[in-house]
Amino acid sequence: MSTDRPRRVNIVDVARHAGVSHQTVSRVINDSPLVAAATRRKVQAAIEELGFRPNRLARALAGGTAREVTVLTTDTSLYGASETLSGIEDAARAAGHTVSVSVMNPDQPYADADVLARLPHLGSPAIVIAHDATTTRAMRALRAAQPSTTVATGGGDLADETEAADWLVALDDRAVAARATRHLLDLGHATVHYLAIPSKAPRRLGWEQALRDAGRPVPPPAACDWSTASAYHAAIGLLEDPDVTAILCGNDDLAVGAVRAAHIAGRAVPGDLSVVGFDDCPYAAFQVPALTTVGLDFRGLGRGAFELLRSKLDGAPRPRPTWRQPELIVRETSAPPRNRTE
C-alpha cells in the first residue's frame, strides 16, 4: 500500500531556510505569542516559499492535536443528518479540522466498545448526530467514556432531560411541534394524529402537550421508521377512520407518504385531510399540494455542534447559538376540515 512518499518539506527544512531553530518554526505555525515579529515574518516567508504544510499526523503524535472530529450518524441520506454533517464540515474546515464520518447501522446492536472502536482512539473528539435509538445509545456510550470530547446534536429520545445539558446542541423541536399542532387545531380540526419518526421524543411531546392544553383527545401516535413507505402504510391504516382529518408527520418524507395514502384512500388534501411535515426539505415547497412544514436550520445546528465541541476542547465558554429558530411554514396541505355530511 504505497502512498507516494516524495519526501515532503518539513519543519527542519523551513527552519534551515529561515535561519532559525525548528522549534521556532513550530511556534510560528502554532501561533505562539513568544515569537518576535521579525522572526515570525522570516519564518512565514520561508513557509510560503517552500510550500510547507505541517504534517497532521506528526503533530498529533507529538502531543498536539489531530484536529480531527469524528461524526457518528446512522444515515447520511436523511435530510436532517446530511445537512447537519454539512454544517459541521463547514465549521470544522474553517477551523482547520478534518471531519471523519462513521455510519452506524440502525438495525445492528452495538456494544459500547464497538462504538468506541469507531474513534481513532479513546478521547478523540466526536460529534454524534443523535436521531434514533442507535445513535442515542452511541451518544451515551461516548459521553460516558469521554465526556469532555463528545458533543451531540439532535437529541434522540432525550426529551427534556438534556435541554439544558452543556454538551447538546438542539433546536426546540418540542415548541414548534406544539406550534404546528395548534396551527391545525386553530384551523378547526377536532384533533391531530401523529406519525412518529424513530425516537424523536421532543416532537411527539410537543404534539401531545398542545393537544392536552387544548383539551383535545390524544390519539396513539403511529410509529414509523424513516421511510416514506412506513408512513404510507401507517396513514392508510389511520384513514380507515373517517374522523381523522389532520396528521402531523415526524418529517417531510413521512408527510409525502401520508399525502399519497390520502390520495389512494380517495381523500382530498387539504380538503379532507390536512398534513403537516417537519424539516422543509428542498422538495417540500414543490409538492402538489405544497407541503406545510417546519423549517429547521440543520446546517446552523451542525456548525453550532462543532463550535461547542471546540469550546470544550479549548476550555472556552460555551458559544452562543447562532442558528435560526424553527418556524412553521404554512403552504397548501393544511386547511380547515371540510364539513362532513353526517
Applying CB under 8 A, the residues found at the interface with a second copy are: 1-6, 8, 53, 55-58, 60-61, 63-66, 68, 75-77, 79, 82-83, 85-86, 89-90, 93, 98-103, 117, 120-125, 146, 148-149, 227-229, 232, 253, 256-257, 259-260, 263, 282-283, 285-288, 290, 313-315
122 in contact with DNA (CB under 7 A): no
Say if residues 149 and 126 touch (Cβ distance below 8 Å). yes
Q: Which is nearer to DNA, 174 or 310 (CB)?
A: 310
**Distance of closest approach, residue 129 Cβ to a second copy, in angstroms:** 12
Beta carbon nearer to a second copy, 102 or 162: 102
Residue 148 partner contact from DNA, a second copy, none using kind-dependent CB cut-offs of 5 to 8 Å: a second copy
The reply to whether 27 sits near DNA by the rule CB under 7 A is yes
Backbone φ and ψ of 172, nearest 5°: -85, 75
- According to the binding rule CB under 7 A, does residue 12 interact with DNA? yes
Do residues 130 and 146 lie in contact, with contact meaning Cβ atoms separated by under 8 Å? no
Candidate residues 3, 4, 38, 315; the one interacting with DNA per rule CB under 7 A: 38
Instruction: Report whether 327 contacts 293 (CB < 8 A).
Output: no
Minimum Å distance from CB 178 to a second copy? 26
275 near 259, Cβ under 8 Å?
yes
Q: Which stretch binds DNA (CB under 7 A): 35-43, 87-95, 185-193, 232-240?
A: 35-43
Q: Count the Cβ atoms, other than its own, within 10 Å of residue 16.
A: 14
Confirm or reject binding of residue 21 to DNA (CB under 7 A): yes
Interacting partner of 242 out of DNA, a second copy, none (Cβ under 5 to 8 A depending on kind): none
Cβ burial, residue 241 (10 Å; 0-12/13-18/19+): exposed
Least Cα distance to 42 among 66, 63, 9, 15 occurs for 15
Q: Does 237 bind DNA (CB under 7 A)?
A: no
How far is residue 170's CA from residue 301's CA, in Å, rounded to a whole number?
A: 7
* Residue 26, binding choice from a second copy, DNA, none, Cβ under 5 to 8 Å by partner class: DNA
Query: Rule CB under 7 A: is residue 288 a binding residue for DNA?
Result: no
Least distance (Å) between residue 26 CB and a second copy = 15
Report what 179 binds from a second copy, DNA, none; CB cut-off 5-8 Å by kind. none
Residue 44: its H or E element:
helix 37-50
How far apart CA 339 and CA 320 sit, in angstroms, is 48
In contact, 161 and 170? CB cutoff 8 Å: no
* Nearest alpha-carbon partner for 285 in 252, 323, 249: 252
Which of a second copy, DNA, none binds 108 (CB below 5-8 Å, type-dependent)?
none
Beta bridge partners of 284: none
| 252, three cell numbers | 417531510
Closest CA to 196 of 278, 104, 140: 278
Give the interface with DNA as residue ranges (CB under 7 A).
Answer: 7-8, 10-12, 20-24, 26-27, 29-30, 34-36, 38-40, 52, 54-55, 58-59, 61-64
